[in-house]
Amino acid sequence: MTASQAAQQHDITHEAHRRRTFAVISHPDAGKSTLTEALALHAKALTSAGAVHGKGDRRGVTSDWLEMEQARGISITSAALQFAYRDTVINLLDTPGHSDFSEDTYRVLSAVDSAVMLLDAAKGLEPQTLKLFDVCRHRNIPVITFINKWDRPGQAALDLCDELSERINLQPMPLTWPVGEAGNFHGVHDLRTGSLVRYERTAGGATAAAETELDAARAAAELPDEWAQALDEAELLVESGGEFDVDRYSDASATPVLFGAAVLNFGVRQLLDLLVELAPRPFARADADGAARGLDTPFSAFVFKVQTGMDRAHRDQVAFARVCSGRFERGMTVTNATTGRPFATKYVQQVFGQQRSTLDIAYPGDVIGLVNATALRVGDTLHEGKPAVRFPGLPSFAPGHFAVVRPKDLGRAKQFRRGVDQLGSEGVVQVLRSDRRGDATPVFAAVGPMQFEVAAHRLEAEFGVPVALDRLPYSVVRLLTVPDDRKTIDSSGRGEVLTRTDGTDLALFTDEIALGVLTRQHPSLGIEQLIAGTN
């Protein structure tokens, strides 16, 4: 190895260790987009924080830029924000909270090294939070828990921590503890310094809240009852197994816990500092063969999201890729491992919500936006040089809702086909077709019905094609493993076979009864159960 090569490898490793790439996950309405905004504000990446609905003088949040997101106040697509904090580069991925968009969230979680699990102080662990945590546990993703909305009435702090240990077997390790019950928030007890951190409200919470640190003696003098209760509760949890242990966080068996109010920017700095200090650095990721690819090996990345319509003026397509190894330089020609074809990276951008700027260099942990990347699909691997490398593909979820889609204006058939193909390539919906129905009447398949609303809205808004969606009665889906059995299913009157864009044949049935009748009539029918959430 030459001195130049050794210096380059050292540079890659050094820069990778400066990266923190994490996702924020939660149930809808827990304050996820608000927290994302507050983190960017404390890092001085924003001069003022927006609000989910943009009320009063506050603009909308940076990560919710789609028109439907702004109108409904929920995240329906993931968003990437990159910014610097101290000497660290933050790659923050905001995820959809609604369960109908869990497939998008799953893809995002494949691209991060850790996660922040956000809980509503009044509601605690909710169904979608539980599902997302299961994905984190399956992928061994370390989780920091931030209990939000402490400025409003809610549950007791100890009860919320008990939920973590009892419902998901995750030991809470408190690092801050609220002084004052939910709805009467005086500040947090920082367990590592022993001090009380108090906050001052700002106008609408649009700017960072000023903090004052009080030592234990002054805290006890000014808030004797609340401070004593905070000390007692935190000590009780620590003595019952909640003493902080970085190894337990790293192996995802325990979670650091912090309290705050994201909308007021209370407790957010402590979370940001903890992420910089504690969250895992990028590491050598396993390729499809299980071999770890070192950070300092030649450039490689995988595409975890494709998005069109971020720039209404150009309607360009952006492929989001997580850099796994090497140094990326704009203009380099890489290979798409899926097709074996070269891909020129002339137009590459750094993303901050909808805002974009030209990016010249990126390192492991970074998320890059490849513009006009019509040849790329979710799950593709990009790499430099030989031998080829390929990371595990990103699976499609088992759909549970189906609808025939057709343009209301047949004169817009060309735009309709282009729009349908685009939505399918992004994974907004799965697109199914069959010879019997023909290409003119594709079928949309979705995990949840709200995906249909998003697809219809985007077809009209971006492609000028209003569409009609006719729901199909199917609720049971199986994988067809014997192609010759397609005719048996199609002619049975109990179901039909449709082919997904990736070539997978899916057998759809109205219900389990219809499936049972057909399998009794044809015991050797070549179908298999889809693995829930992964096929």
Under CATH, what is the fold of the domain 24-77+95-278? Answer: Rossmann fold (3.40.50)
Task: Please tell me the distance from the alpha carbon of residue 311 to that of residue 325, in angstroms, as a whole number.
Answer: 29
Q: Tell me the average pLDDT across 457-478.
A: 92
The answer to whether residue 75 scores a pLDDT higher than 80 is no
Q: Tell me the average pLDDT across 255-261.
A: 97
Task: Please tell me the distance from the alpha carbon of residue 33 to that of residue 10, in angstroms, as a whole number.
Answer: 36
Predicted local confidence at residue 64, as pLDDT: 43
Task: Give the residue among 525, 508, 492, 446 at the shortest CA–CA distance from 99.
Answer: 446
Q: Tell me the average pLDDT across 465-479.
A: 94
Q: Tell me the average pLDDT across 387-406.
A: 87
The answer to whether residue 65 scores a pLDDT higher than 60 is no
DSSP three-state, residue 530: coil
70 pLDDT band, cuts 50/70/90, is: very low
The answer to whether residue 73 scores a pLDDT higher than 60 is no
Contacts of residue 445, defined as CB under 8 A and 6 or more positions apart, other chains included, come to 399, 401, 402, 429, 430, 431, 432, 477, 498, 500, 506
DSSP three-state, residue 126: coil
Higher pLDDT pick, 1 / 60:
1
Predicted local confidence at residue 76, as pLDDT: 39
> What pLDDT, in 10s, does the model give residues 292-336?
999 999 999 999 988 776 555 556 678 899 999 999 999 999 999
CA angle at residue 144 from 141 to 150, to 5 degrees?
150
Residues counted in the chain: 535
Predicted local confidence at residue 347, as pLDDT: 84
Lowest mean pLDDT of 261-275, 381-395, 513-527, name the range.
381-395
The answer to whether residue 50 scores a pLDDT higher than 60 is no
367 pLDDT band, cuts 50/70/90, is: very high
Q: What are phi and psi of 460, to 5 degrees?
A: -75, -45
17 pLDDT band, cuts 50/70/90, is: very high
Higher pLDDT pick, 128 / 402:
402
The mean pLDDT of the chain is 86
Annotated binding residues, written as ranges, equal 94-98
Task: Please tell me the distance from the alpha carbon of residue 314 to that of residue 372, in angstroms, as a whole number.
Answer: 10
Q: What are phi and psi of 284, to 5 degrees?
A: -70, 115
**DSSP letter string, 315-380:** --EEEEEEEEES-EETT-EEEETTTTEEEE--SEEEEETTEEEE--EE-TT-EEEEET-TT--TT-
Tokens of 233: 């509760």
Long-range CB contacts (< 8 A, 24+ apart) of 75-78?
A: 75/32, 75/33, 75/101, 76/101, 76/450, 76/454, 77/101, 77/104, 77/307, 78/104, 78/105, 78/107, 78/108, 78/305
Predicted local confidence at residue 206, as pLDDT: 73
Tokens of 443: 């079928």
The answer to whether residue 466 scores a pLDDT higher than 90 is yes
Annotated binding residues for GTP, written as ranges, equal 94-98
Under CATH, what is the fold of the domain 401-529? Answer: Alpha-Beta Plaits (3.30.70)
97 pLDDT band, cuts 50/70/90, is: low
Higher pLDDT pick, 4 / 40:
40
The answer to whether residue 135 scores a pLDDT higher than 90 is no
Predicted local confidence at residue 362, as pLDDT: 95
Max mean pLDDT range (86-100, 105-119, 180-194, 312-326): 180-194
Task: Give the residue among 65, 71, 72 at the shortest CA–CA distance from 94.
Answer: 65
- Would you list the domain boundaries of the chain? 24-77+95-278, 285-383, 401-529
Predicted local confidence at residue 525, as pLDDT: 92
Higher pLDDT pick, 95 / 282:
282
Tokens of 512: 């389990």
Higher pLDDT pick, 295 / 494:
295
The answer to whether residue 56 scores a pLDDT higher than 60 is no
Contact indicator for 46, 62 with CB cutoff of 8 Å: yes
Tokens of 464: 């000028």
Task: Please tell me the distance from the alpha carbon of residue 483 to that of residue 475, in angstroms, as a whole number.
Answer: 21
> What pLDDT, in 10s, does the model give residues 174-183?
999 999 999 9
Annotate 21-34 with b (16+ C-beta within 10 A) or e (fewer).
bbbbbbbbebbbbb
- What is this structure's pTM? 0.80
Cβ atoms < 10 Å from Cβ of 137? 15
Under CATH, what is the fold of the domain 285-383? Answer: Elongation Factor Tu (Ef-tu); domain 3 (2.40.30)
Task: Please tell me the distance from the alpha carbon of residue 24 to that of residue 160, in angstroms, as a whole number.
Answer: 19
Higher pLDDT pick, 104 / 435:
435
